[in-house]
Chains A and B, each alone.
Chain A
Amino acid sequence: REKRLTLPPSEITLL
């Protein structure tokens, strides 16, 4: 869980 918290949030792309 800790690893996930340190990962950056992702961008959002509209397709």
Chain B
Amino acid sequence: TGSPVPASTATLVRVLKNSNTLGIAIEGGANTRQPLPRIVTIQKGGSAHNCGQLRVGQVILEVNGISLRGREHKDAARIIAEAFKTKEKDHIDFVVFEPG
């Protein structure tokens, strides 16, 4: 599945839906300078901020087991939005990678 990601810097982060917004801004997607979505903002009071484990600069590899590799920005954003909207789970599992 593309270039191997060093396992040591890939992390599974579970974000509980304890606020009515996820509260992250993402940049990137296939065919852009940033090939995988990267977190560029975390809003105070959002579920991501409350979780405390997501950080600006982290790259999102997977959402609830769905790989974002090779997906355009809009597709990746839709997958994350739907993962937050769905009532089936009270959390979202992100696999993130800390570059550098």
Are the C-beta atoms of B84 and A11 separated by less than 8 Å? no
B68 to chain A, nearest CB (A): 13
The secondary-structure label for the interface of chain B is: mixed
Q: Which bucket holds chain A's interface residue count?
A: 10 to 19
Q: Which of B21, B25, B43 contacts A12 (CB 8 A)?
A: B25
Chain A residues, Cβ within 8 Å of B33: 4-5, 7-10
Chain B residue at minimum C-beta to C-beta distance from A12: B27
Are the C-beta atoms of B77 and A15 separated by less than 8 Å? yes
A1 to B39, CA, bound (A): 22
Q: Which residues of B contact A (CB under 8 A)?
A: 21-29, 31-34, 40-41, 43, 73-74, 77, 80-81, 84
Q: Which residues of A contact B (CB under 8 A)?
A: 4-5, 7-15
